[in-house]
Amino acid sequence: MHCPTTTGNEAEVLVAYTSGTMTPAEQEAFELHMAGCAGCRQLAAAQKTVWSALDAWTLPPVSDEFDRSLHARIAEEARLPWWKRQWGGFSFSWKPAIPVAVACAALAGAFLLHVPAIDNAPATLPAVQTQKIDADQVERALDDMDMLNQLDAPAPAPARTPEGS
Amino acid sequence: MNASRFAAALVLAAGSLSVPAMAQQEPPPPPGPAAQREWSPIDQLERLRLMPPWQRERFLDRLPPQRRAKIERHLQDYINMTDEQRARLREQYEIFRQLPPEKQQVFRNLFGRFMNQPPQRQELMREEFQRLRQMSPAEREKRLDSYEFHYRFQPNEREILGRLAMLLP
């Protein structure tokens, strides 16, 4: 028999061995293997300890009060109108709200990424609009406006003559 | 199961709400032939001014470095102006654009000659040019023939001023 720890099925083999679900031939082969494999012996011992602990654990008995309150609640539900019974199936819990919040945050993030930042622009200009801007025309306009601005510029204040001169 | 259905419904609802919101951010579709019209140079300049810096950068990135530097410098001057200054300049430019292309070129050549004058002379000429532009055609003609005008300016300066003032009333 190949060592279960090397074949990767040690969990199945150990659980089957401890729970006694192996066939007699499988059990005999595994016990023969364990005689020469310290690793499997240790694992089997640990697994048996867990099973023994579970066997020793006794569940506390369910109180009569639990049954009474459960039946009373079922009867109360049955008295509710149908639409309330439908709604009664839904109970709010924070647990499902977390993935909803994450999904909404993801949507909001995608929305913000989709819309580029607006910087004093009255409306967002699509990227394609830069293609409609002709660099030659813009350059000529800027040159002409610079020329007109220089002719229109107010004259600088005259240099003051030093007092007494 | 109910909770997961509720979550899925909420996500779908959020998605359906965000889609029209995205659509609102998109500019309206072109209204028709008017949208096909070419933008005037001043429209293009205004769009450059108003667009976000990253978009302006994208436009400038297409230009060779030397040309980009010049356009960027002039554009920055334009952006830095007050609204009032920009409005006045746009008005001046629109008047200039009304001139036939050959007259626009004559004006540019005259401006080149003006720029070749010494700075002190340029100041005097600029003042005179602004004064001439305030005048009616008759007053301007009278001023150009006046003794004072002849006394203050050299023949070359008089020619530049006279022709500039006639071209850009």
Q: Do B44 and A141 touch (CB under 8 A)?
A: yes
Cα-flanking dihedrals φ and ψ of residue B10, to 5°? -65, -40
Taking only the tens place, the pLDDT of each residue in B8-62 is 444 444 444 444 444 444 444 444 454 556 788 888 889 889 988 888 898 899 8
Question: Which member of A103, A142, A148 has the closest CB to residue B75?
Answer: A142
Q: Is B92 an 8 Å CB contact of chain A?
A: yes
B64 pLDDT above the threshold of 60: yes
| Both tokens assigned to B139 | 């007053």
B28 DSSP 8-state letter: P
CB of B140 closer than 8 Å to CB of B165? yes
Cα dist from B48 to A125, B55, B68, B76, whole Å: 10, 8, 13, 10
Would the CB atoms of A142 and B45 count as touching at under 8 Å? Answer: yes
Q: So what's the pLDDT on residue A39?
A: 86
Average pLDDT of the segment spanning A59-73: 80
Lowest mean pLDDT among A1-10, A89-98, B38-47, B55-64: A89-98
With an 8 Å Cβ cutoff, are A156 and B55 in contact? no
Rounded Cα distance, A20 and A10, in Å: 15
- The whole-chain average pLDDT of chain A stands at 74
Q: Computed from CA positions of residues A94, A100, A105, A106, in that sequence, does the dihedral angle turn out positive or negative?
A: positive
pLDDT tens track for B132-155: 988 999 999 999 999 999 999 999
With CA atoms as reference, the chain B residue closest to A152 would be B130
Q: In A138-158, which positions are buried (b, 16+ CB within 10 angstroms) versus exposed (e)?
A: bbebbebbbbbbebbeeeeee
Query: Residue A56, Cα to own-chain centre: how many angstroms?
Result: 39
pLDDT at B121 (0 to 100): 94
Better-scored residue on pLDDT, B31 or A100 = A100
The verdict on a CB contact (< 8 Å) between B27 and A156 is no
Helix/strand/coil (H/E/C) assignment for every residue in A42-87: HHHHHHHHHHHHHHHCCCCCCCHHHHHHHHHHHHHHHHCCHHHHHH
Q: CB–CB of A37/A2 below 8 Å? A: no
- For chains A and B, CB pairs below 8 A equal 144
Average pLDDT over residues A65-72: 85
Give the confidence band of A76 by pLDDT, cuts at 50, 70, 90.
Answer: confident
pLDDT of residue B26: 42
Q: What is the mean pLDDT of residues A42-67?
A: 79
Higher per-residue confidence, B135 vs A133: B135
pLDDT tier at A67 (50, 70, 90 boundaries)?
Answer: confident
Q: Is the ipTM of this complex over 0.90?
A: no
A70-84: average pLDDT: 82
Q: Using 50, 70 and 90 to split pLDDT, how confident is the model at B75?
A: very high
From chain A, pick out residues whose CB is under 8 angstroms from the CB of B79. Answer: none
pLDDT tens digits for B80-92?
999 999 999 999 9
